[in-house]
Amino acid sequence: MLKLYDYWRSSACYRMRIALNLKQVDYETEEVSLHPDHLAQNSDAYRAINPQMRVPSVEINGQVFGQSMALIEWLEETIPTPALLPSDPTQRLRARAFADIVACDIHPLNNSSVLKYLREEFAADAGTVGVWYGTWVTRGFDALEALAPKESLFLFGDAPGLAEICLIPQIYNAQRFEIDLSAYPRLLEIEAACAELPAFAKAAPEAVKPA
Ligand SMILES: N[C@@H](CCC(=O)N[C@@H](CS)C(=O)NCC(=O)O)C(=O)O
């Protein structure tokens, strides 16, 4: 049984939950709170589990690993079906590049430690942090909307995969920060299609939020 060190609102954890659900993997969860009032992420106990002190971490056969994208690749390699990437190499390249816009270019700039650093080291107020957040999300989403294939049911075929695994949590995060997403109709269409699927619905932050 895998153990997911999880925080309900973390978009990297949300990615991991969707991928585990799509691959129909049973897993248990241990909460690592990122909430400023009861932060467990910076505890010595969690540092011993994951020296980077970020979530998600996944315990696999007694060993713990971080980094959602590496973990999702491992899932794809060990449980090939249902595939999270298209079979055609060019389409795989497109799907990976789409996912990387979220995982490499948007998400790292709006991470909680980055926003905290802006507030604490550069005296950025809430408005400034909001502009920072919105700038990098909209630049990334502008590209994603342009790159999103329009003809298929999901982004890169008739089933969701790595691209949706990264996109849906980032949309959730943008909505939480009240970013206007009306310029991204195809991305919102994909979000609506994913919301119908149990693997996505069961992974949603509100579905896993501790009582
Ligand atoms: N690249 C990492 C990112 C992990 C990450 O930064 N997770 C966030 C939550 S979404 C976190 O732990 N943030 C705490 C921090 O910024 O220190 C992954 O994909 O797993």
Per-residue confidence band for 70, with pLDDT thresholds at 50, 70 and 90: very high
| Domain boundaries 2-81, CATH class | alpha beta
Residue 192 near residue 186, CB atoms below 8 Å: no
Give pLDDT, residue 165: 99
State if residue 54 touches ligand 1 by the CB under 6 angstroms criterion: yes
| Mean pLDDT value across residues 179-189 | 98
Mean pLDDT, all residues of the chain: 96
Q: Is the pLDDT of residue 37 over 80?
A: no
pTM, full prediction = 0.97
Indicate the SS3 state at residue 3. Answer: strand
Indicate the SS3 state at residue 15. Answer: helix
Q: Is the pLDDT of residue 199 over 80?
A: yes
Indicate the domain borders of the chain: 2-81, 89-200
Nearest-CA neighbor of 183 among 171, 169, 201? 171
Q: Which one of 42, 49, 54 would you pick to mutate in the ligand 1 pocket, going by the greatest count of ligand atoms within 8 A of its CB?
A: 54
Q: Which one of 9, 110, 112, 133 would you pick to mutate in the ligand 1 pocket, going by the greatest count of ligand atoms within 8 A of its CB?
A: 112
Distance 63 CA to ligand 1 centre (A): 19
Q: Please report, as a single letter, which amino acid is at residue 44.
A: D
Give pLDDT, residue 76: 98
Q: pLDDT tens for residues 78-132?
A: 999 999 999 999 999 999 999 999 999 999 999 999 999 999 999 999 999 999 9
For 89-200, CATH number out of 3.40.50.720, 2.60.200.20, 3.90.1150.10, 1.20.1050.10 equals 1.20.1050.10
Per-residue confidence band for 40, with pLDDT thresholds at 50, 70 and 90: confident
Residue 170 near residue 14, CB atoms below 8 Å: no
Residues in CB range of 158: below 8 A, 6 or more apart: 152
Per-residue confidence band for 141, with pLDDT thresholds at 50, 70 and 90: very high
Residue 160 near residue 142, CB atoms below 8 Å: no
Give pLDDT, residue 90: 98
